Amino acid sequence: MSLLLKNALVIDPKSPYHNKKKDILIEKGVIKSFGKSSSKKTLDCSGKIITPGWFDLNANFCDPGLEFKEDITSGSKVASHGGFTDVNVMPSTQPPVLTKSDVEYIKSKEKAELDLHVSAAVSHDLGGENLTEMIDLKESGVESFSEGDQSISNTKLLLKALQYTSQLDVPVFQNARDKHLSDKTQMHEGIESTGLGLKGEPSLSEELIVARDLGILKYSGGKIHFSKISAAKSVNLIRKAKKEKLNVTCDVSIHHLIFTDSSLGDFDSTFKSLPPFRSEGDRKALMKGLKDGTIDAICSDHRPQDVESKKLEFDLAEAGAISLQTFLPALLSIEEVPLEILIEKVTHGPRKVLGQQEISVNKDQMAKLTIIDPKVGWELNRNSNFSKSINSPFWEKQLVGRVAATVNKEAVSIFHE
């Protein structure tokens, strides 16, 4: 396969062609040259941006067991149209990802256009008590361990998990929420929750677990990754831990960079999130964390829910939103952070978290590329949506920024020319 990308504006600080327009020739899944060349297949990239292939650290494809919400095939299509060449899928399936055969099932459905990375459960049946067979799971291709939607509340379990994984050189993902302070809460605790009459979750719920787990990490060694942090004090704690050279990383969900607790004013359940959208002060702290390098990555937290789980009273509705296909317009709406930093958080940052080989837009590099049109407008609706679910805060809204194509080695997916 040969493909020539013409007039491409490269955005990749790790590339010598950063902020330059180039013709890029790809042959057999490898970037061969920059400059004048020829190929039977060409794609005019005038007005478009080329970056390294996007990598999502946290998505739910609901397969096996919950395929009516999403399955690996539909999830992969959504991710590709969202600009991703790599997705790390969570173990919160039915049954959870516990064994080598569970991993093989997921990998068997992998498509050429999207590389799937698997996070396996920390504990058997996500029960929070007994460790899974971590060594066998690592040998089967698992790249991280997580309790999915749940927090690892059992300190003894977390300690053992970090000790085991320190030998395997893989991170333990933690959703930092104190299960007692978060019990039956509906949104962030603050002025907005008081006005709406909804039980709020204090930021303290997250901050306590972050502080606790950093103490355990300092004692045990290993790697911990805080997934979807949302609170200002959590950012400060992780910033301090990094200065102390602890092996800690973190990400934030794309929606937490855009929405706050004030977004819930009309009780729209598509804004019910886990963790909850917090205050404007917290959102600004997340922005600062992105700019100074405290936050390593931005994830989608793609969480499909069927209509029956969402079209309910707010306190009964399930949390979460689909977010892969609208990731680009959401990212482009963030004005406080330079675009090249945002791109780094969905390309190099996630790969570093998982210890992946670094890629860049450079000669002789493996061709993993995302090509975006930052100015084209579109609407997410039943005609354009590729997910099985429709629980998006951007449903039937006008959006700006669309993915034109992805290249994943020899697999080229052209969506819009």
116 forms beta bridges with 87
Instruction: Single out the catalytic residue among 71, 301, 306, 315.
Output: 301
| Pairwise CA distance, residues 119 & 124, whole Å | 14
> What long-range pairs does 309-315 form, CB within 8 A, spacing at least 24?
309/69, 310/269, 310/270, 310/391, 311/269, 312/269, 314/186, 314/198, 314/264, 314/267, 314/269, 314/272, 315/186, 315/198, 315/199
| Pairwise CA distance, residues 117 & 107, whole Å | 8
Find the radius of gyration of the CA atoms of the chain. Answer: 21
Strands (E), 53-193: 54-59, 84-89, 115-121, 144-146, 172-174, 187-188
The two three-digit tokens of residue 182, written as one number: 């978060």
Question: Contact at 8 Å (CB) between 11 and 331?
Answer: no
Question: H or E element: which one contains 304?
Answer: none
| Pairwise CA distance, residues 11 & 353, whole Å | 21
DSSP 270-289: GG--SSPP--HHHHHHHHHH
Active site annotation includes 169: no
> Which residues are tagged catalytic?
301
